[in-house]
Amino acid sequence: MATSTTAPDADRREPRAGSPARRPARRPRGPRRSLLPYLLLAPAIVLELAIHVVPMVVGVWMSLLELTQFHIRDWSTAPFIGLENYRATLDLNSAAGKELLHSFWVTLAYSLLSVGFAWLLGISAAVVLQRPFRGRAILRALFLTPYALPVYAAVITWSFLLQRDTGLVNHVLVDQLGLLNERPFWLIGDNSFWSLLVVSVWRNWPFAFLCLMAGLQNVPGELYEAAAIDGAGFWRRLRSVTLPMLRPVNLVLLLVLFLWTFNDFNTPFVLFGGSAPEQADLISIHIYRSSFKTWDFGSGSAMSVALLLFLLVVSAAYLLITNRRRDDHA
Amino acid sequence: MSRRHLGIFTAAVLAAASLTACGGSGDDSAAAPKTLTYWASNQGASLEADKTTLQPELDKFEKQTGIKVTVEVVPWSDLLNRLLAAAASGKGPDVVNIGNTWSASLQATGALVEFDDAALQAVGGKDRIVPAALAAAGAPGKPPAAVPLYSMAYSLYYNKKSFADAGITAPPTTWEQLAEYGKKLSTGGKWGLAIEGANPSENAHHAFTFSQQYGGEWFDSAGKPTFDTPQNVSAIKRYIDFMAADKITNPSNAEYAQNQSVSDFANGKAAMLLWQSAGSNLKTQNMPADAYGVAPVPFLASPPAGGKKVNSMVAGINMAVFKHTKNKDGALSFVKFMTSDEEQTILNKTYGSLPAVKTAASDPAFSAPEQKTIQETLVTTAAPLPQVPEESTFETLVGTAMKELFADAASGKPVTEASVKAKLTDAQQKMR
Going from the N-terminus, what domains does chain A have, and what CATH number goes with each? Answer: 46-328 (1.10.3720.10)
**What's residue B241's pLDDT?**
98
Rg (CA), chain A: 27
Between the alpha carbon of residue A61 and those of residues A55, A300, B318, the distances in Å are 10, 12, 35
ipTM above 0.85, yes or no: no
B293 beta partners: B158
Position A17 pLDDT exceeds 50: no
CB B144 within 8 A of CB B321: no
Say which residue, A174 or A293, is predicted with more confidence.
A174
Separation of alpha carbons A169 and A171, rounded Å: 5
Average pLDDT of the residues in A260-287:
92
In which element (H, E) is residue B88 found?
Answer: helix B76-89
Neighbours of B188 (CB within 10 A): 5
Separation of alpha carbons A202 and A142, rounded Å: 12
Separation of alpha carbons A329 and B365, rounded Å: 84
As to burial, measured by CB atoms within 10 angstroms (0-12 exposed, 13-18 middle, 19+ buried), residue B208 is buried
Percent pLDDT > 70 in chain A is 88
**What's residue A33's pLDDT?**
67
Q: What is the pLDDT of residues B114-165, one digit of tens each?
A: 999 999 999 999 999 988 899 899 998 999 999 999 999 999 999 999 999 9
- The verdict on a CB contact (< 8 Å) between B255 and A164 is yes
- Counted residue by residue, chain A has a size of 330
Position A21 pLDDT exceeds 70: no
Q: How confident is the model at residue A258 (pLDDT cuts 50, 70, 90)?
A: very high
**What's residue A133's pLDDT?**
87
> What are the chain A neighbours of B425 within 8 Å (beta carbons)?
95
- The verdict on a CB contact (< 8 Å) between A294 and B396 is yes
> What are the chain A neighbours of B427 within 8 Å (beta carbons)?
95
**What's residue A29's pLDDT?**
54
CB B313 within 8 A of CB B212: no
**What's residue B32's pLDDT?**
57
How many Cβ pairs within 8 Å bridge chains A and B? 116
> What are the chain A neighbours of B250 within 8 Å (beta carbons)?
165
Best residue in A162, A165, A270, A285 for a mutation probing chain B (most B CBs within 10 Å): A165
CB B89 within 8 A of CB B111: no
> What are the chain B neighbours of A66 within 8 Å (beta carbons)?
432
- Counted residue by residue, chain B has a size of 432
**What's residue B12's pLDDT?**
44
Top-confidence range, A182-191, A317-326, B211-220, B354-363? B211-220
Neighbours of B333 (CB within 10 A): 18
Separation of alpha carbons B205 and B129, rounded Å: 23
**What's residue B33's pLDDT?**
67
The model's pTM is 0.85
Low-confidence ranges of chain B (pLDDT < 50): 1-4, 6-30
Q: How confident is the model at residue A233 (pLDDT cuts 50, 70, 90)?
A: confident
Helix (H, G, I), strand (E, B) or coil at A183: coil
**What's residue A4's pLDDT?**
42
B36 beta partners: B69
